[in-house]
Amino acid sequence: MPTYNLKINGKSHTVEAAEDTPLLWVLRDHLDMVGTKFGCGIGQCGACTVHVDGSATRSCLLPVSQMDGLSVTTIEGLSEDGSHPVQQAWKEKDVPQCGYCQAGQMMTASAFLSTNPNPTKEEIREAMHGNICRCSSYNRIEEAVELAASKK
């Protein structure tokens, strides 16, 4: 079985996995980083979103063999103490209901705000439209992204 050296949340990790193993399962099953959630497995829901070199990426679609030289940030690495503006806004707006999709939502929002720090409501809606929330917390999610932008 091949061995991969991964940089996740600023730390190096060595894992043994089949080359087609999705990053999602490496994170969850090999490294016990369970903040990144499995939703659909086909990149449609956004629950598994992580940052790869700063870009929001569906980890269920990314084979571990393509991770050489790339830097991954998971929800655990967004901030150690929950002080990231997106995490703070999520708390202030009391966004989650069941909470299952929220890590992916926050990772999408934080990547978006890093490239568009002063978005319009329409830009927020467009950026977040690919993340599904089964509880339909979309209005609070949009409000939280707007609040996080004001905190930057």
Which residues sit opposite 14 in a β-bridge?
Answer: 5
Question: Would you say the CATH fold of 85-150 matches that of 3-77?
Answer: no
> Structure tokens of 112?
């978006």
Q: Taking a C-beta distance cutoff of 8 angstroms, is the pair 19, 63 a contact? A: yes
Q: pLDDT tens for residues 51-96?
A: 999 999 999 999 999 998 899 999 999 998 999 999 999 999 999 9
The yes/no answer on whether domain 85-150 falls in CATH 3.30.540.10 is: no
| Environment class of 105 (CB within 10 Å of its CB; exposed 0-12, middle 13-18, buried 19+) | buried
Q: Could you tell me the CATH superfamily of domain 3-77?
A: Beta-grasp domain (3.10.20.30)
Measure the CA angle with vertex 106, ends 102 and 112; round to 5°: 145
pTM: 0.96
Q: CB atoms < 10 A from the CB of 55, how many? A: 11
User: Edge to edge, what strands does the sheet with 71-73 contain?
Assistant: 11-16, 3-8, 71-73, 49-52, 55-58
Beta bridge partners of 5: 14
Run of H or E including 49? strand 49-52
Can you tell me which residue has the tokens 């319009």?
Answer: 120
Q: What residue ranges do the domains of the chain occupy?
A: 3-77, 85-150
One-letter amino acid identity for 75?
Answer: I
- 144 and 93 Cβ atoms separated by less than 8 Å: yes
pLDDT at 111 over 90: yes
Q: pLDDT per residue over 121-141, tens digit each?
A: 999 999 999 999 999 999 999
Percentage, residues of the chain above pLDDT 70: 99
Radius of gyration of the chain (CA): 15
Q: Lowest mean pLDDT of 36-40, 91-95, 96-100, name the range.
A: 96-100
Is a pLDDT exceeding 90 seen at residue 152? no
* Over residues 9-15, mean pLDDT: 97
